[in-house]
Structure 1
């Protein structure tokens, strides 16, 4: 596939944090969703997209495992960086109490970074997804009535979900 000018690949569903970073850094770019970091790199190498957005570091959790090595090994060039404020919220299909939920969907880092909030809800089962926005999309599209998703406000609004708990991060600043 030939490269389209001003295109950028990002990880996850629409309004994932990678998508938000792509839209912020490349305001007028056509954004292309990818299912993995390796796919983002392949998209750039194969001229499917002109650029890719890949998380290298997480302020709370440290280096995103393997991503810097992936970029170096690929021979691609890092052109810039963006610092993105991360605020996690808990969303559900309808307004409800957290103790009414049975499952929580999200990216493994979001689950880790909201652990303190959920410590009083031992009955919950956590299910990992590719991105936080992917979790919100899954719960919304599959109408999972007893499931919640950890995500950002833009994704929650986009997929028509309701925030049932705000700023659930372990370190909300």
Structure 2
């Protein structure tokens, strides 16, 4: 079997057996070592580079690992492999949704799932608010002020999200200093 095919299969396995992000790292390490494609030092460098570059860690790792193993074509093959499970499952879900959207049982399932998803989102927002706007149980007035300003800029002034993120980062650096 060619190295490209082995690389593709390895990353399809990684895509099916992990949930993205850091959960992919041990699987990538195992596959790279098992095939003797990289040394531990190479893998450490790949992970460091993948963490520093924008984008999902799993895709970045696949890109760099594939490129280091076989070159640019290896990077393309590895990314295709790691994305294939998510693509396949999303496609199957879309097909099922289209096929069963008028089904009474499916409609009832969605009726239950929608509020559950909303609650999960609200809980996540509450946790993030607690982490970002409270320090030692007390409100961080500066952080609250920055947050309210950003909410105002998005809601009333129609600023685009990247612009708001950039401004809030700048304000955070100015107000809190660089750690």
Q: TM-score, normalised by structure 2?
A: 0.23
In our comparison, the structure showing a higher alpha carbon Rg is: 2
Structure with bigger RCO (C-alpha 8 Å, 6+ apart): 1
Structure with more strand by fraction: 1
TM-score by length of 1: 0.24
